[in-house]
Structure 1
Amino acid sequence: MRLHVNTAGTGWQWVKRGMRTFFRQPLALTGLFFMFMVVASLLSLVPVVGTALSLVLVPAATLGLMAATREAEQKRFPMPTVLALAFRGGPERTRAMLVLGGLYAIAVLAVITVANLFSGPAPLPAPETGDMGAEAMGLVVRPGMLAAMLLYLPVSLAFWHAPPLVYWHGVKPAKSLFFSLVACWGNKGALTVFTLGWMGVFMAFGLALGLISSLLGGAAAFQVVLYPLVLLMAAMFHTSLWFSFRDSFRFDDEATDAADSTAA
């Protein structure tokens, strides 16, 4: 396994490839992401351990969505069972993915705990203008929210490439976090453009949604279409993750193809 360093412009290519692949199978990919959200929401209702259980599944869901993207890229319909790919590769791979999920849950819960220390007794209120953008800015300027964003960044980078490294290439969970961080740092230019690109896409969709909703009925219409749009955009973003992984490493074996045969 070797790190491959991409040019900064490759980040925009990841955005475009993700969008193009998503629109090959929009219903399937959105449906898979929705299925995971439903499962995570139901697990979070379990008393005491529900939130932790839902977090444990995040790396497995990331792997499943990457595998679904590969199917869509090859013009095949991703079946719902691909979402459970992480648990269909035998006891060793299942155990490794569960360990990775446990590490993710611990990291996220630690971020939440530390961020809560910065929240203070009373968060900064948003201006009472009725403007949704102002209210969103009110959330962003909360110290707890800012702390959570800063603390979660290294967690996100550590787990960015970890699921496919663990499952498809047999890397130990702890090592996969290190390799993911190294790959993200080596491709920091591409990841920066990737992030800025998706921010631009989200803003463009938001502006278009605001214009359409104002023509159709204002805030009421906005609320009706907001959740489906957020779901679609989140599914589209996750579709692009596969391309960032594929272009960040070079492998000497064919472990990925061998692992995929378990999903057939």
Structure 2
Amino acid sequence: MKLNSLAPKEGYTWIRQGIWLFKQNPLGFLMLIFMYVFVAQIAIMVPVIGVFVVLLLTPAISVGFLTACRQAIQKERIRPLVYLAALQSGVLVRRRILQLGLIYTTLILVLSFILSLLIDFEALLPLITSDKPITPESLHQIYLILFFGAILYIPVAMLMWFSPILIAWADMSIPQALFSSWMACWVNRTAFFFYLAIWSIVLIAIPLTIGMLLDALDLGQAASFIVAPISIAGLTVMHCSFYATWKACFTEDEVALV
């Protein structure tokens, strides 16, 4: 397993390759995303335990989706049970993936605690619990949550970006996988910056702009019918592009993504 140092323009290339990969089996990938969102929403409805289970299984889900990407390249059928690929890879891999899930859960809980110290969540309660218009103060708090949340999540993302797949496919230990993932993201930080900047525009800026334009035209009710498909398609392609980041940052003996 070799770590590669890439040019900044690779950030755009990953997205282009994600689009190519999505085209190989769009229905299969959309099915996986819809299934994950549906099951996650049901799980979150269970107090405390539901959120814990979703976080715990996040590394396994990541391996499952990347396994589906590899299957699509090899022209194999994508099945829902692909999400269980990591848990069916043997006792050692299953134990490491679940332990990694515990680490991820702990990091998210710590991040949430730190965020609660920086943000006044009480100012958002009226917005969450009622249909009242968004006040300037509430909007300010939302922006603060997004900003501080993104800043705090960056180190967690760097640790977790490649570590599940390094454990499942490269047979690395948890410390080695976490370190390798961090180094891959750090060495190629400029490419990742452009990559994430483009996705921020596609998944956040464009839907918000469309929503505001429709609101200005008094067509707010139509926004969900336009924005939702764009967001789901963009989210699915983004997940497909994760495989491209893996193939670019690490060299292994496998079918190439072209």
Q: Same fold (TM over 0.5)?
A: yes
Q: From the superposition, tell whether residues 110 and 83 of structure 1 become closer, same or farther in structure 2 (CA, over 3 Å).
A: same
* Aligned: 1:79 with 2:70: no
Q: Which residue of 2 aligns with 1:10?
A: 10
Backbone CA RMSD of aligned residues: 3.1
Q: Which residue of 2 aligns with 1:262?
A: none
Structure 1 residue 112 displacement after superposition: 0.7
**CA–CA separation in structure 2 for the residues paired with 1:121 and 1:135:** 11
* Aligned: 1:32 with 2:32: yes
* AA of the residue aligned to 1:223: S
**CA–CA separation in structure 2 for the residues paired with 1:216 and 1:34:** 30
Q: Which residue of 2 aligns with 1:198?
A: 199
1:181-196 equivalent positions in 2, closer than 5 A = 181-196=182-197
Which has the higher mean CA deviation after the structures are superposed, 26-35 or 210-219? 210-219
> Deviation per CA, 1:196-244, whole angstroms, max 9, x where unpaired?
2223333685378559967997111112343343222211111100110
**CA–CA separation in structure 1 for the residues paired with 2:121 and 2:187:** 40
List alignment gaps of at least 5 residues for structure 2: 128-132
Instruction: Please tell me whether the aligned partners of residues 43 and 50 of structure 2 are also in contact (alpha carbons under 8 angstroms).
Output: yes
**CA–CA separation in structure 1 for the residues paired with 2:41 and 2:3:** 36
Structure 1 residue 99 displacement after superposition: 0.7
Structure 1 residue 22 displacement after superposition: 1.0
1:209-228 equivalent positions in 2, closer than 5 A = 209-210=210-211, 218-228=219-229
**CA–CA separation in structure 2 for the residues paired with 1:210 and 1:122:** 26
* Aligned: 1:151 with 2:164: no
**CA–CA separation in structure 2 for the residues paired with 1:78 and 1:216:** 41
Instruction: Please tell me whether the aligned partners of residues 41 and 54 of structure 1 are also in contact (alpha carbons under 8 angstroms).
Output: no
**CA–CA separation in structure 2 for the residues paired with 1:226 and 1:105:** 30
Structure 1 residue 50 displacement after superposition: 1.9
Runs of 4+ in 1 over 4 A off after TM superposition: 134-137, 207-217
Which has the higher mean CA deviation after the structures are superposed, 157-166 or 146-155? 146-155
* AA of the residue aligned to 2:119: S
1:224-239 equivalent positions in 2, closer than 5 A = 224-239=225-240
**CA–CA separation in structure 2 for the residues paired with 1:208 and 1:151:** 26
Instruction: Please tell me whether the aligned partners of residues 12 and 194 of structure 1 are also in contact (alpha carbons under 8 angstroms).
Output: yes
Q: Which residue of 2 aligns with 1:96?
A: 96
* AA of the residue aligned to 1:182: M
TM-score, normalization by structure 1: 0.82
TM-score, normalization by structure 2: 0.84
Q: From the superposition, tell whether residues 123 and 75 of structure 1 become closer, same or farther in structure 2 (CA, over 3 Å).
A: same
Give the SS at the match of 2:85: helix
